Amino acid sequence: MTPSPLPVIRLLPKTKPQAIRRGYPWVYANEVVTDRRTRAMTPGTIAVLEDAERSPLALVAVNPNSKIIGRVLDGPEATAPDQDWFAKRLHKALSLRERLFDAPFYRLIHAEADGLPGVIIDRFGDTAVVQPNSAWADVLLPELSAALAEVTGVTTILKNAGGRGRSLEGLDDVDAVLLGDAPNAPVSVHMNGATYMADLMGGQKTGIFFDQRPNQAFAAGLAQNARVLDVFSHVGGFGLAALAGGAVSAQCVDGSEPALALAAQGAEHMGATERFSITKGDAFAVLTTLGEEQAEFDLVVCDPPAFAPSNKAREAGLRAYERVARLSAPLVAEDGYLVLCSCSHAVDLTAFTGACLRGIGRAGRRAQLIHTGQAGPDHPLLPQLAESGYLKALFFRL
């Protein structure tokens, strides 16, 4: 094999290369020789990863400022990514989404699982929102954007720099318009019979959460003639789906006034304003007040932000999930349904289920677990990376 012109980083002798050979996509800083040459590499440098015996293992993107010093991009014989390289990855991702969905509203790129580590791309018709959450993607953003326009035909590409991963990579938090013009109004997204309004420039994440689509559909199937409470609702994800499913009422609770305003717009577009209400406030405080008022609902959904975004926050996160379950369970009518969700990477399904059951039990309720949901198929799971299966949705009958 002809030696690569690219720089090299090398695993320490104690580090076994089998995980990389089997598809694990991350190389940690404590697993490689971090000499002066390696530490001097510019974040985003493309390099060849070798094992301790100097055998090439993979093409990696290097960031010496990150705990994940290397992200696997390709085989060791590959050349540095260019527009054509991105186009091939995007074509593969697009072929899956076009088979799954009849309209171009979905997650197009789900990071490592779609072969673009640290990159999120959500598509909203002719507009794509890119989160380059790793240094290499930030450096190669022009090539990525050009390939994205070429492959999908989108006319607007927005950079969203609000991802937590960017701060861990030492990157800026500056949003940008990479192609076309910034949208001057929310974009309508139709899912599960509901209409959602997505603010692509100022909303949370990329403007909407596509990952909950199948779980919202399942909840809508439970919502016929139901009184529904959607807590941590964002732009009305579960509440609006429930209205589309025949709910007699849906109350959305969130701390963000702009998000609730978008939820109300969605209900208006659906002609469901009379069945819809919003409550702005801290979710725990609102749940406590509703409990004191002995309020009752047939379907209660709690879809909070990640309470455990890291292993360090795991125990505190589990206590928070238990508290959500304890406060929400008393609000559910006899034989009603409670949906509890977690998007925390650091909390696995077993631990999350245990926390929910403790909370339900401490509220004096008994539960049947009738369905366990995960992210939709436009958020594929990379089997070698447990963190890519982050979303959990538990459907209980109380």
Convert the pLDDT of each residue in 78-131 to its tens digit: 999 999 999 999 999 999 999 999 999 999 999 999 999 999 999 999 999 999
For the domain bounded by 191-397, which CATH number is listed? 3.40.50.150
Q: What is the pTM of this model?
A: 0.94
Report pLDDT for 2: 60
Looking at residue 3, what is its pLDDT? 62
Q: Which residue ranges make up each domain of the chain? A: 8-74, 83-179, 191-397
What's the pLDDT tens digit per position in 281-325?
Answer: 999 999 999 999 999 999 999 999 999 988 899 999 999 999 999
Fold agreement (8-74, 83-179):
no
**Architecture in CATH of 83-179:** 2-Layer Sandwich (3.30)
Residues 367, 150: Cα–Cα separation, whole Å = 51
**CATH 2.30.130.10 for domain 8-74:** yes
The pLDDT value given to residue 202: 81
* C-alpha span between 207 and 226 (Å, rounded): 28
- Residue ranges, the chain, pLDDT below 50: none
Distance of alpha carbon 229 from alpha carbon 159, whole angstroms: 33
Residue type for 374, please? Q
| pLDDT recorded at residue 205 | 76
**DSSP per-residue codes, 305-348:** --S-SSGGGHHHHHHHHHHHHHHHGGGEEEEEEEEEEE--TTS-
pLDDT at 1: 53
